[in-house]
Amino acid sequence: MPELPEVETTLNGIAPYLSGQTLSGIKVRDRRLRWPVTRGLEQKASGQKIRFLERRGKYILLGLEHGGLLIHLGMSGSMRVLTEPAPPQAHDHFDLETSAGQVIRYRDPRRFGCLLWHSGDVRKHPRLKNLGIEPLDSVFNGKVLYDAARSRRVAVKNLIMNGEVVVGVGNIYASESLFDAGIHPHRSCHRISLERYERLSQSIRKILANAIRQGGTTLRDFVRTDGRPGYFEQQLLVYGREGQSCDRCDGEIRKTVIGQRASYYCPGCQH
DNA sequence: ATCGCCTCCTGCGCGC
DNA sequence: TGCGCGCAGGAGGCGA
C-alpha cells in the first residue's frame, strides 16, 4: 500500500484542484470501507470551503470551515483527478467534487482505507492522537529512535514500522532504509547504538525523500493522481529481490518474516 | 506499557 | 486451461 511517499505524491496531485476550492459534493457509492462511511457525511461536508489540505502519517486531512475529512488509502487505495467525466469502475468507492467542476475519484479494491468525518478540527481526530513523529520533520533524528528503543525489545524493523514512534514507514521503505543503514532487520532494537540510530534516521529520510521525488513505488495498485505509476520501484535495492545479487557486495539477498511481514535484507551488508 | 497474533478484503501469480 | 492456495504496500484490536 501506499506508504508515506505514495500518500505525499497523492496529496501533491490533488492539492492544486482542492486547495482554496469549495467542496460542492461527495458521491459515496460503497460505504463499506475500513470503517463504514457514516450516513450524512456528504451532507455535512458539502458546500463548505476547503481551508487546508495536509498529510499526517499516511492520513490525508481535508479541513473545512466546520469539521473536516480524514482519508486513508489502506493497502490498495489511490486517488485520481478526472480529466473528463468517466463511468466509475469497480472499487471506485467515492468522488469528491468541487464547485469548479473537478472530480477526485477514490479507488480501493481491498477496502482497508477510510473516509471519516470529524465535526471539530480534523487535526484533532482521535485516530491521529497517538501518531509518532514525522520522519521528514527536522525534529526526527537518531535520538528519537534510540529513546523509543529503551523500553522496547522488538526487532528494529518493527520499531521503525511502529506508527506511534515514527509515522509513514511501511514494509517496503523499512527494508530499504535498514539496508541503506547497514542494520539487520532482525536485530533487537534494544541493542543498537545511538550512532547507528543516527545513521538509520538519515537513511529513512533519504529513502523517503527520494521516493517522493520518483512519485512513489507502484507494485500493483498504486497510481498517481494522473494515472501514471510511481518510479521508485526501479530503485529498490532489496525489497522483492530475494535471490538476486546485492548491488553493494554481490552477496545474495534474502527474505525473512518479521511480525508476519516479508522482510528483505543483504546478509553481507547488514548486521 | 508492550508484544504477538489475528483480522478486515479483493486480486493475482504460482504450482499442480 | 482450470483451480486452490498463499501472499500482498496497513493498522486496529485483542488477550497475555
Q: Are residues A64 and A90 both part of a single domain?
A: yes
Question: Considering chain A, what is the average pLDDT of its residues?
Answer: 97
For residue A157, give the CATH number of its domain.
1.10.8.50
pLDDT score for A102: 97
Catalytic residue chosen out of the listed positions A2, A5, A135, A185 = A2
Tell me if A33 is assigned to some domain.
yes
Per-residue confidence band for A164, with pLDDT thresholds at 50, 70 and 90: very high
Rounded CA-CA distance A115/A211 in Å is 25
Q: Nine-digit cell at A162?
A: 511502529
Tell me if A134 is assigned to some domain.
no
Contact A201, A142 (CB under 8 A): yes
Query: A221 pLDDT exceeds 90?
Result: no
Q: Are residues A28 and A117 both part of a single domain?
A: yes
Task: Domain of residue A120: give its range.
Answer: 4-128
For residue A52, give the CATH number of its domain.
3.20.190.10
What is the side-by-side order of every strand in the sheet holding A22-28? A78-81, A103-107, A92-98, A22-28, A48-56, A59-64, A68-72, A114-118
Q: Say how many C-beta atoms besides its own lie within 10 A of residue A262's C-beta.
A: 14
Q: Are residues A123 and A200 both part of a single domain?
A: no
pLDDT tens profile A174-201: 999 999 999 999 999 999 999 999 999 9
Instruction: Look up A65 and say whether it is catalytic.
Output: no
Q: Nine-digit cell at A207?
A: 529513502
Which chain A residues 215-254 have CB under 7 A to strand B? 220
pLDDT tens profile A100-148: 999 999 999 999 999 999 999 999 999 999 999 999 999 999 999 999 9
Contact A97, A30 (CB under 8 A): no
Segment holding A205, helix H or strand E: helix A194-213
Buried/exposed A224-246: b ≥16 CB within 10 Å, e otherwise: bbeeebbebbeebbbbebeeeeb
Rounded CA-CA distance A128/A157 in Å is 22
pLDDT cut 70: percent of chain A above it: 100
Q: Are residues A185 and A101 both part of a single domain?
A: no
Tell me if A225 is assigned to some domain.
yes
Q: Are residues A166 and A256 both part of a single domain?
A: yes
Global pTM? 0.97
Q: Residue A169: which of A152, A147, A188, A144 has the closest Cα?
A: A144
Q: Is the dihedral of CA A246, A251, A252, A253 positive or negative?
A: negative
Q: Are residues A169 and A120 both part of a single domain?
A: no
| Protein residue nearest nucleotide B12, by CA to C1' | A220
Query: A1 pLDDT exceeds 70?
Result: no
* Helix pair A171-181, A194-213: axis angle to 10 deg: 130
Q: Are residues A120 and A195 both part of a single domain?
A: no
Tell me if A108 is assigned to some domain.
yes
Contact A230, A214 (CB under 8 A): yes
In terms of phi and psi (left: phi > 0; alpha: psi -120 to 50; beta: otherwise), the region of A122 is: alpha
pLDDT tens profile A80-96: 999 999 999 999 999 99
pLDDT score for A27: 98
Query: What are the residues facing A107 on neighbouring strands?
Result: A78, A92
Tell me if A123 is assigned to some domain.
yes
For chain A, the domain total comes to 2
> What's the CA A35/C1' B8 distance, rounded, in angstroms?
10
Q: Are residues A161 and A92 both part of a single domain?
A: no
Q: Are residues A151 and A256 both part of a single domain?
A: yes
Q: Are residues A154 and A251 both part of a single domain?
A: yes
pLDDT tens profile A249-271: 989 999 999 999 999 999 999 99
Instruction: Look up A110 and say whether it is catalytic.
Output: no
Q: Tell me which of A84, A105, A128 is where a domain ends.
A: A128
Q: Are residues A185 and A76 both part of a single domain?
A: no
Q: Are residues A124 and A10 both part of a single domain?
A: yes
